[in-house]
Structure formats: C-alpha cells, structure tokens
Structure 1
Amino acid sequence: MTQNSGLLERLPDRTGLDRIWSVLPKARLVGGSVRDLLAGVAVHDLDLATPEPPDDVQRRLEQAGIRVIPTGLAHGTVTALLDSVPYEITTLRRDEETDGRHAIVAWTQDWAEDAARRDFTINAMSLDRHDRLHDYFGGREDIQNHRVRFVGDASRRIAEDALRALRFFRFDARYGHGVPDRKACQAVSEQLGLIGTLSAERVASELLRILSGPRLNETIGAMASVGLLQVLLPEPDQHFLNRLLACEAPVSSLLRLFALCHRNSPELAGRLKLSNADGAKIEAWASAQPALHPELSDDDLRRLRVLQDLDLLVERSWLQQARLVGAPDSVWDRFRSRLQAMPQPEFPLSGKDAIAQGVRPGPGMGQWLKTGRDWWMAQGCLPDRSACLAYLATQK
C-alpha cells in the first residue's frame, strides 16, 4: 500500500536527507526511522535503502562531494557523512541462504522483496522523497493498534535469525500493548532450540536492551511463559527483579540483570561474556561486605567511602532496599543522600612520610602505613596528617 503520509514534516531538519535525495532520488527512508515517525517518538538515525548497487552508491555520493565510509560493502551498506551526521544507505537485498545466525544476500531492485526479509511489519515500511509511505505488510495499522507482528511466517523469520526471538519481546515492550502476538509467542516457543546457536555477545546485547526498556515486568513474564527466559538464564528470580523495580531504582540494565540472576551470579559474566568491568561489578554486588544499613553513623559512611567506590555503594544500597523493603523508602533515600554528600576521605600519609620518619622501604613501610591507616579508619577517617604521625610515633 502506498499513501501520502505527511511524515517528513515531523523531521526537525531534513537538509542532509534532501542532499542525499538529490544524488539518489530513488532512495527511501526505511526501518526504525519510519516506524518512529509514525509512532510519534524521537528519531535517532535516518537509515535509507536504495535499488542502486553499493559501488554505484559510493561513486555517486563521492562525485557530489559527500564523504562516504564503506562500512559494510559486503552487506551492501555505505555511510554518508554530512555535517558529521551519519546516514546509513543500504542496497535492496534478498536472502539467498540463512543458517539462523547469518544470511547470504543478493542485491535486488524489488522494494517488496527487501521488505519481506525484515523482521516485523512495523520495521518493513519505507518513505520516499515525495513523502509517500510504502507499507507492504500493514505496519502502519500495527503501529496504530500497538501491535508487533512478524513479517510473514513467524517461525520462518526466527529460523532465519534466532535473535529475532529476543528482538520480538524488546519491540513488543516499546511498541506493543497488552498480551503479545499469539503466533509470535508460539513460534518463539517452537524455536527455542535455536537460541543455543547464538553468540553470547549477541544474546547479552539484546537482553540488556530489553532490561533497560519499558513494561519490564510484563515483558519478562511473557518471555518466561514461552520458556525463553529459562533458556537464556537458568533459575531466573523474577520476584527479586520485581522488588527492585518496585523500589523505583534508576534504570540500569546490568543491575536489573543481576537482580534477575543473583542466584547464579558467579557464572553470569562468563555465560554472557560480559566485560571485565561488568564482571567486577557483579562480583561486588554479590558480596555482603562492606555491610550496608540506612542507620549507619557518619563515621561508618566515611569508612564505606574508603572501602568501596561510591557508585558501587549506591547500587548495592538499591539491592539491599529491594531485599529488605521491596518498595520506595525514604529511609534508604536519606542514606543514599548522606552517602553521596559525604566528601571522599583520603588517608593523609604516604611512603614519603614513612621515609621522613626513618622507616625504610620494604615490608616495614607497608606495615607502618597499614597501622596508621587502620587507626585513621577506626577514628572515622577524620585525623589529619599531624594526628596520624603523632599516633604512629607512639607505636615505635
């Protein structure tokens, strides 16, 4: 179906887009940009498709003085840079062969054929330079009805790329409403065996995007009902995640992942091949030390600030609130405010001070500094350099 849309008027600035259209008049906006224009949400990337082959696209743009980066020529994609804004332009494609992870593609000039290889109806629309919307599978109606459906046979779409099972729930959370599409859920359930063919990195990326999105309680529940959640994460604890969400903690996909998987947190980073930094955070969240309680004294708070990074302490406080309260709580809010307002204590002595006091480098120096630091910590991290030196002088 082709219809006038008025969508281009919603773009705050189409200068770069018009310049590309002057070079590639057959190109159309595709995918997420069209979907989000229809949905009335912010458009972040203006991606285009065109029937011209990628080499021809690159040549035409460069002849027009537009900088081009061959970001994915093998997949038919180049990126045009206009005033530092990237525009991804991809030649129309059809799938020649798929294995559930990758597709071998061939170029085509058939827009409907290209649209048919996309995942969801709401992602299969295109918009030409005359502001005409091309909608081959009812995507506009699905946007209006808050419905996410696969293009064509849902089971086949998932067989082409198993990650679409996760993508379905991510898009349903953002653009759907109510019970997810029955045919899609049935197809996900039937194709659970393909999830193991996906790389851990792709699964982690998609899962973290789901966890940062809206309607998370409903989405996680729907994923569990079709068996997908249990395949991704053994022994998920939806109850603890719901308690964390009920506390109204700031959005952190990694923290939410930990809440969901805290029972198996030692294996979590390796299972999803998370970064070393994320793995270290998970390890710190899993520890009960240093202990947190909202009624700790200022001296205790200063000691906490010395023992652990402030961000980790705040994140652990949300987890502790979820365990103990499971709801918004002004006592824990005050604790975090006190913690964040507390200046970072710094132990005032160093190796130079030890040498000045006649302490030789080596184990003795380390013990001298440890003795001073332990006393300083016991005093609430308040003594200054002179006080610490005076104390150490009594320990000779």
Structure 2
Amino acid sequence: MSAASIAGAAFLDDPAFRKVIAAIEQDGDRARVVGGAVRNTLIGEPVDDVDIATTATPDVVAARVAAAGLKAVPTGIDHGTVTVVAVHRAFEVTTLRSDVETDGRRAVVAFSRDWDGDARRRDFTMNAVYADADGTLHDSVGGVADALSGRVRFIGDPRQRIEEDYLRILRFFRFHARYGRGEPDPDGLAAVISLGEGLDRLSRERVGAEIRKLVTAGGAAPALAIMDEAGLLDRILPGGGKVERLAAAVALAARHGLSLGLEPRLAALAVKREGLMAALRLSGQEARRVETIVSWCGEFSVGMDASAVRLAVIRAGNEVAVAALILVAAETGIEPPADLLRLAGEFRPPKSPVTAARLIAEGYKPGPALGAELRRREAAWIAAGCPADLPPGD
C-alpha cells in the first residue's frame, strides 16, 4: 500500500461495498470512499464505518440502489445523505455539496459535482481524502501527509471552518487526542481558542456526544489540559475540569494493565459531578453510574480493605469497584495495594446465603428489624470472605 493508493484494504473487497458502488456508478456518476475509512486505513487503524461520496443526487442514489435490490433509508436527505443497506451492512452515501449558508450550528447546502469543492468544505485535511473502488487516492488538500504525520489541520482558513460549525472546536481537540502526534497545529489551536465563545451556541446534545469521544481517546488528558488552560472546559463542564485527576487515574490504570471507560473518566474529570447530566445530556444510566462510582470513592476514602472491596463488587459490580479504587488513588496520590485492585477486578461472589426467607424461617417478622438483620448478616458474610453458608445467627 502506498501513499497514492489503499489497494488491498479489506473493505474494498467487501461484497456489500462492491454492490453499493456498482449500483451508484451509472450514467457517468462516480462514487468514492471518504473520511474515516480512508484515514484509518492509511494509518493502520481499524475501519468501522465506510462512508461514500458521490456525484449522484440523493433521489438518484435511492432509485438505483432500490433497483439493485438494496435498501435505501433517507437518513439525511436535506443534506444529501442516504443510508444504503447491503448484506446487512449500512453505508452512508452523501452527494457532493457546497455550503449555501452556515450559522455556526448547521448548514444549508447545494448539491454539486465538484470533488475539490466538496473536499474544501470539510473540517480537517485527514478527513478529506477520497478513494476510488480500486484504492486510488484523491487528495487535493494534503490530507495523506497530515494523516501519516499525525497533524490535525483545518482545511483552508481555520476561523472560517470553525465559524461554519462551532462543534469543530471540540472536534479539533478530539481528533488530536485520537490521531495527533506532538503539539497541536498552531494555526488551528489559535483559532479554536479565539472563537471559544462559539461553544455557547451549541446544543448540549452535540457537545455531550463529542465530549464522550474526547474523554475516552488515548490522548485525552493532554488535549483536555490545553482546553482547560484556555478556559474552554469552563464553558462545557460545571465548575470546569480536574484534568490532573483524570491524567493520574488513566496513568495508574495503565500501570496495572487496566483501562477506564466513559463514566470513570467523567467522574475523575468533573469538578461538580451533580451538573454533568444536564451539561452533557448524559443518559440516566450514565449519570447513575457516575454517581455510584463517586459514592464508592467516598466509602473507600473512609476505609479500604478486602471486605470493603468485596462489598463494592457485590453492590455495584467489578468495574465500579476498580474505578473507585483508582479514582481514590488519583485524588490522594496513594495507590491501593495490587491485591485489592486484583480482587476488585476478579472477585466473583457466590450467591449469598443471607436471604429474607432464611431470617423469616428463623422467626424474624417482616419490617425494619428484618432489614437491619439482613444488612448485618450480609456484612458478616462478606467480612468472613463470602463462604457458601453461615450458621444461623451469624
């Protein structure tokens, strides 16, 4: 594979992909892969989605794929996008476009047949490289070189690109955290900082979706540190962020061969965790998980031993127990013993012999006293190492 071609990429030989391309490329229309599939192939990263750009208009795309026995779903018809389903796989097919009007959040577009014009309306050079079905690359903006060198660079004037859609401020940091190497592109960095007020115009849903991807990227902590220094995190998170705590947690987890998911990272980053749900439009499940992790951080701050860890696993699960141990260590600078981290990750508790039915059989009546005894017995069972049974009264 050379810088002029990605011939040999697995997705190019995918029968589903070939069916879609064959259906679209009729009567002089062309179809090319663009974006993440090309970028990731160039740098040796896995390819998840294959997006296709074409000169054919959405109605023509829909008619042609339907005639070929494929399913067309008008997922973004106003912006030229038709999702085509072939052999149970989905491909986003978008007509070449030019921007007629932008307001910093969304664009009104006109369909086009100009490949270079379509490339120049995109965000970053590494996302604007096109590939024919045979792997031949088309790069009018220097995206191949930037992808290979790990340089996240805006196409054309960074300020103009950002003012078209202020979400590109967050995308700049997210892409640098995921694909960048070294320091961020200075022109891009200066532009995103100077236009930071544009973040206030974005919906919380769009911000939340982008932050989820950013905080879980490999280079999240350095990118977030730059955002914090520039005052951008204060516009996104209530009270700003504690990047040092997140960096310490990620580093500690890596030293032990562990990884942290979204909720532990948010719990580590947030200063005012109670405002996260609204700020990032977290789901109820995500918000509850953050709160559970924070709650167990409090428990471990008071006392941390094998019994406490087993209780955390029983009540909240292995991942929460591991995350809480790591976050307490990140906050205090005192690492938990390796055996406790191992217990938090590997402990699989047997079914508890402590049940309400057992206590009722012993003579307890339903009510507060039964609940209190259940909690006491469970604590004793956990302290004893979770044996298969306990004698009556223990």
Tell me, yes or no, whether TM beats 0.5: yes
Give the alignment's TM-score, normalised by structure 2: 0.86
Aligned to 1:128: 132
Q: 1:202 to 1:365 in 2, by over 3 A?
A: same
- Gaps in structure 2 of 5+ consecutive residues: none
The Cα RMSD (Å) is 2.7
Aligned to 2:52: 48
Mapped partners of 2:134, 2:379: distance in 1: 73
Give the alignment's TM-score, normalised by structure 1: 0.86
Match of 1:274 among 270, 277, 282: 282
Match of 2:291 among 280, 283, 293: 283
1:1-396 alignment runs, 5 A limit: 5-11=4-10, 13-25=13-25, 26-233=30-237, 234-247=239-252, 248=254, 249-261=258-270, 263-287=271-295, 288-291=297-300, 296-298=305-307, 300-325=308-333, 332-339=337-344, 340-344=346-350, 346=352, 348-350=354-356, 354=360, 365-381=366-382, 387-388=391-392
- Which is worse superposed, 339-348 or 48-57? 339-348
Answer yes or no: is the 8 Å Cα contact 2:300–2:328 preserved in 1: no
Give 3-state SS (helix, strand or coil) of 1:213's partner: coil
Mapped partners of 1:21, 1:383: distance in 2: 61
Give % identity.
32
Mapped partners of 2:231, 2:373: distance in 1: 56
Mapped partners of 1:11, 1:191: distance in 2: 40
Q: 1:56 to 1:383 in 2, by over 3 A?
A: closer
Mapped partners of 2:322, 2:148: distance in 1: 40
Give 3-state SS (helix, strand or coil) of 1:86's partner: strand
Measure how far apart 1:58 and its partner are: 0.8
Give 3-state SS (helix, strand or coil) of 1:291's partner: helix
Give 3-state SS (helix, strand or coil) of 1:290's partner: helix
Q: 1:239 to 1:129 in 2, by over 3 A?
A: closer
Mapped partners of 2:316, 2:69: distance in 1: 53
- Gaps in structure 1 of 5+ consecutive residues: 392-396
Write out per-residue CA displacement over residues 31-58 of structure 1, whole angstroms, 9 at most, x where no aligned residue: 1112222222222211111111111111
Write out per-residue CA displacement over residues 176-234 of structure 1, whole angstroms, 9 at most, x where no aligned residue: 22111111111111211110111112111111211111223321222234332232233
- Which is worse superposed, 101-110 or 125-134? 125-134
Count of aligned positions: 378
Measure how far apart 1:291 and its partner are: 3.2
Structure index of larger Rg = 1
